[in-house]
């Protein structure tokens, strides 16, 4: 589903709409979807663009192809945050834009090479892109380009140019894709689309060449200011151009949404620095990037035979970093194939790997916790080594360590440790849905049903599902009163959050009713 929606959305940079029912009449559903109005002038203001982005993001959160893998997300954030900080320092992202937009990365379980910018500061990254880039700098070049599309308001500017060309046509087309996925019936999706008119609108709404050049120029400045190697912009262009010449099998949708030109490549080469900048994302660790690329490749794979191939013996002639990454991938694949003993044995060998740098060692320690939790490892096997890794992770400051450490603690009967650490984490990161969900599990394991449901409500709200959050809080209040809940402080917190989110929901519904 996501690949189809994103291919259409990125190509058009138009309007994506939520679907209330798979078989709803497309144009009627578009008219009543409650999205921000494009406006008489044709341009979206900041608030309207953010609202539009929130509606699209809400649908992505619900899709099984959305993948919030803590390890990959931390790696992406290590690249993303310096870029965003540099864009803010340069003035590309104003204070108003910084505050109003989400600036949120959304990993997608898809093997194709793609990334995309959505309204309101949401950015999608296919795992296929992470698996393909040679280093963090190449990944930074793509993210900087997409960031610049948003910071330069290209989506709003493009809509201003195209506001006379019936944006509802584009909305109906995307509704058709959603309907086809929800119903598992391609005919329904085809019937909902408007055929050649929609395809014409898709072509007309591509980012213009001027916008692509501007995103290149601004993106290059952003990534260079953030400390990444500007040469990666050119090497990524060369890689994409070579793929375009050799084949067009659909594996590189980024080429169609961002077509390369000789002029763009020449312009980037003219901007190259004399010296290579340091790799700020990995601390110079080629080992870490190789492992993260392999992790993305494994997590994007759903075919059992190909996973078995990943878990096989490493091919000869690999570099040291690639050989390490191959063994890392083999351990992860074995865990996904429900072969915990094999996966754990490989993890033990990785922990003894000669010449590990600090970022790589930490990634392997997180893999050990991953294998222990998702691979259903027995306690006797895990405890000698894993217990120390679990405690270290719970004391760490990074998200992946906290989440994997907490999940391991829950798995091995130490839910109180997990809830204590997670309460501190969500206080600082209230929009971390995965952390709230894990906290819900920790409280549930301790028999604290009211707290568990409240945490699950917060997880729904973090994923922009306001209705779901209110429903869970309502159920929590009713169940607590039926059981005559004695934790009056917790009940008062639930009551307060229920009133607060209910008011937000009423305001949202009222605003939707006023829109055409």
- The Cα–Cα gap between 136 and 140 comes to 6
Q: Which two structure tokens, joined as six digits, stand for 108? A: 């997608």
pTM over 0.85: no
CB 108 within 8 A of CB 6: yes
The DSSP line for 345-393 is HHHHHHHT-TT--HHHHHHHHHHHHHHHHHTT--HHHHHHHHHHHHHHH
User: Does residue 470 have a pLDDT over 80?
Assistant: yes
- Confidence class of residue 277 from pLDDT cuts 50, 70 and 90? very low
According to the model, what pLDDT value does residue 114 have?
87
Cα torsion 102, 108, 114, 119: sign: negative
- Confidence class of residue 72 from pLDDT cuts 50, 70 and 90? very high
Strand order across the 115-118 sheet: 104-108, 122-126, 115-118
User: Does residue 484 have a pLDDT over 80?
Assistant: no
User: Does residue 239 have a pLDDT over 90?
Assistant: no
Q: What percent of the chain has pLDDT over 70?
A: 72
According to the model, what pLDDT value does residue 121 have?
94
User: Does residue 190 have a pLDDT over 90?
Assistant: no
| Local structure of residue 313 (DSSP, 8 states) | P
- The Cα–Cα gap between 69 and 400 comes to 8
Distance of CA 14 to the CA centre of its chain: 20
Rounded to an integer, the average pLDDT of 15-23 is 30
According to the model, what pLDDT value does residue 133 have?
93
According to the model, what pLDDT value does residue 410 have?
95
According to the model, what pLDDT value does residue 235 have?
86
Q: Please tell me whether residue 228 adopts helix, strand or coil conformation.
A: coil
According to the model, what pLDDT value does residue 126 have?
93
First CA to last CA across the chain, in angstroms?
28
Q: In sequence order, which residues have a C-beta less than 8 Å from that of residue 137 and are 6 or more positions away? A: 223, 228, 229, 231, 232, 277, 279
List, in sequence order, every residue forming a beta bridge with 123; answer none if it has no partner.
Answer: 105, 117
CB 172 within 8 A of CB 30: yes
**Token pair 């969500």 in the structure block, residue:** 426
CB 374 within 8 A of CB 336: yes
* Low-confidence winner among 50-54, 81-85, 187-191 (lowest mean pLDDT): 187-191
- Confidence class of residue 34 from pLDDT cuts 50, 70 and 90? very low
- The Cα–Cα gap between 60 and 1 comes to 10
* Low-confidence winner among 43-52, 59-68, 235-244 (lowest mean pLDDT): 235-244
| Strand blocks (E) in 91-186 | 104-108, 115-118, 122-126
Query: Over the chain, what is the mean pLDDT?
Result: 79
* Low-confidence winner among 131-135, 142-146, 249-253, 462-466 (lowest mean pLDDT): 249-253
């Amino acid at each position: 589903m996501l690949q189809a929606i994103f291919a259409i959305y990125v190509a058009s940079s138009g309007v994506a709409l939520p679907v209330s029912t798979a078989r709803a009449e497309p144009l009627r559903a578009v008219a009543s979807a409650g999205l921000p109005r494009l406006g008489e002038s044709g341009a979206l203001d900041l608030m309207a663009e953010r609202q539009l982005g929130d509606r699209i993001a809400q649908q992505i959160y619900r899709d099984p192809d959305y993948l919030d893998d803590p390890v990959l997300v931390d790696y992406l954030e290590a690249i993303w945050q310096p870029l965003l900080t540099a864009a803010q320092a340069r003035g590309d992202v104003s204070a108003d834009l910084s505050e109003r937009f989400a600036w949120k990365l959304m990993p997608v379980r898809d093997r194709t090479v793609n990334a995309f910018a959505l309204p309101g500061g949401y950015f999608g990254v296919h795992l296929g892109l992470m698996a393909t880039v040679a280093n963090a700098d190449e990944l930074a070049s793509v993210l900087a380009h997409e960031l610049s599309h948003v910071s330069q308001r290209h989506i709003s500017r493009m809509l201003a140019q195209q506001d006379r060309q019936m944006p509802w046509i584009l909305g109906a087309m995307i509704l058709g894709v959603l309907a086809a996925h929800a119903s598992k019936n391609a005919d329904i999706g085809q019937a909902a689309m408007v055929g050649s008119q929609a395809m014409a609108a898709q072509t007309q709404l591509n980012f213009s060449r001027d916008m692509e050049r501007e995103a290149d120029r601004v993106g290059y400045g952003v990534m260079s200011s953030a400390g990444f190697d500007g040469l990666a912009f050119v090497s990524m262009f060369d890689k994409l151009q070579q793929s375009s010449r050799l084949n067009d099998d659909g594996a590189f949708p980024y080429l169609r949404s961002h077509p390369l030109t000789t002029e763009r490549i020449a312009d980037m080469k003219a901007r190259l620095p004399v010296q290579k900048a340091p790799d700020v994302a990995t601390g110079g660790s080629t080992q870490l990037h190789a492992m993260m690329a392999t992790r993305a490749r494994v997590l994007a794979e759903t075919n059992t035979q190909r996973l078995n191939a990943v878990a096989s013996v490493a091919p000869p002639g690999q570099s040291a970093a690639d050989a390490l990454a191959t063994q890392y991938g083999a351990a992860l694949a074995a865990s996904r194939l429900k072969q915990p003993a094999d996966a754990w044995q490989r993890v033990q060998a990785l922990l003894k790997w000669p010449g590990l740098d600090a970022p790589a060692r930490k990634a392997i320690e997180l893999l050990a916790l991953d294998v222990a939790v998702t691979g259903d490892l027995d306690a006797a096997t895990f405890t000698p080594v894993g217990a120390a890794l679990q405690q270290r992770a719970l004391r760490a400051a990074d998200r992946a360590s906290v989440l994997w450490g907490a999940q391991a603690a829950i798995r091995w009967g130490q839910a109180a440790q997990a809830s204590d650490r997670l309460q501190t984490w969500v206080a600082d990161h209230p929009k971390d849905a995965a952390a709230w969900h894990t906290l819900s599990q920790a409280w549930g394991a301790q028999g604290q049903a009211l707290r568990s449901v409240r945490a699950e409500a917060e997880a729904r709200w973090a994923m922009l599902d306001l209705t779901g959050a209110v429903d869970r809080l309502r159920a929590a209040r009713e169940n607590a009163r039926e059981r005559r809940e004695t934790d009056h402080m917790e009940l008062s917190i639930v009551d307060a959050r229920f009133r607060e989110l209910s008011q937000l929901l009423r305001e949202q519904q009222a605003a939707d009713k006023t829109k055409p």
